[in-house]
Amino acid sequence: MDQAKFIHYKVDVPTIDEDHLRIFTILENMKWKYTDEEMIRLLVSELESLLEFHFADEEKYMEQMGFPYIAAHRNAHAELLYFIQGLMKRMDIKQGYSIKYIADTVSKQFSHHIDWHDMQYAEFAKKQSKEGS
C-alpha cells in the first residue's frame, strides 16, 4: 500500500501503524508472489503470527489507556482471526486465483477493522491527550 493511501488508516501510534503497514504489505506480496509456493507459505505464516502479535499488542495498549469498549474490540479481533485462519485453511496453493482472492478479501476485512474498530481507540486517545494537556 502506498503512503498516500495508508494515511487514511493511520491511528497515530507509531508501533501500531508500523504493524498495520507490515500486514498490508504482506497481503500485497501474496497477490504478486502467488505462483511461488514456498514464498506463499512463508508469507502466510508471517501474516498469522504478525496478526496474533498485533492484536495482543493493541489489546494491551487499549487496557493501558482505559479504553471503555475493549471487550467488543477483543471480540472483533477473535472473530477476524478466526475468519482469516478459516480462509487460509481453504487456500489452494496450486491455484493462484484463490490466493489472490484470499489476500484481497483479508485486506478488505482488515481495512474495515481499522476503519471501524481501531479508529475508535485512536479517537479516544486523542481526546484523552487533549484533556490531559
Cα Rg of the chain, angstroms: 16
Query: Based on CB atoms, which residue is closest to Fe ion, 40 or 117?
Result: 117
Q: What's the grid cell of residue 119? A: 479508529
Query: Based on CB atoms, which residue is closest to Fe ion, 40 or 58?
Result: 58
**Positions in 39-78 near Fe ion (CB under 5 A):** 58
Query: Based on CB atoms, which residue is closest to Fe ion, 11 or 43?
Result: 11
**Strand, helix or coil for residue 69:** coil
**Positions in 78-107 near Fe ion (CB under 5 A):** none
Least distance between Fe ion and beta carbon 45 (Å): 19
* Torsion, CA 40, CA 45, CA 47, CA 49, rounded to 10: -170
Taking CB atoms within 8 Å and a gap of at least 24, the contacts of 49-53 are: 50/19, 50/22, 50/23, 50/26, 51/23, 51/80, 51/81, 51/84, 52/81, 53/19
Total residues interacting with Fe ion, rule: CB under 5 A = 3
Query: Based on CB atoms, which residue is closest to Fe ion, 84 or 117?
Result: 117
Candidates 7, 21, 118, 129: give the one binding Fe ion (CB under 5 A).
118
Q: Interface with Fe ion by CB under 5 A: which range of 2-10, 29-37, 96-104, 118-126? A: 118-126
Residues at the interface with Fe ion (CB under 5 A) = 58, 117-118
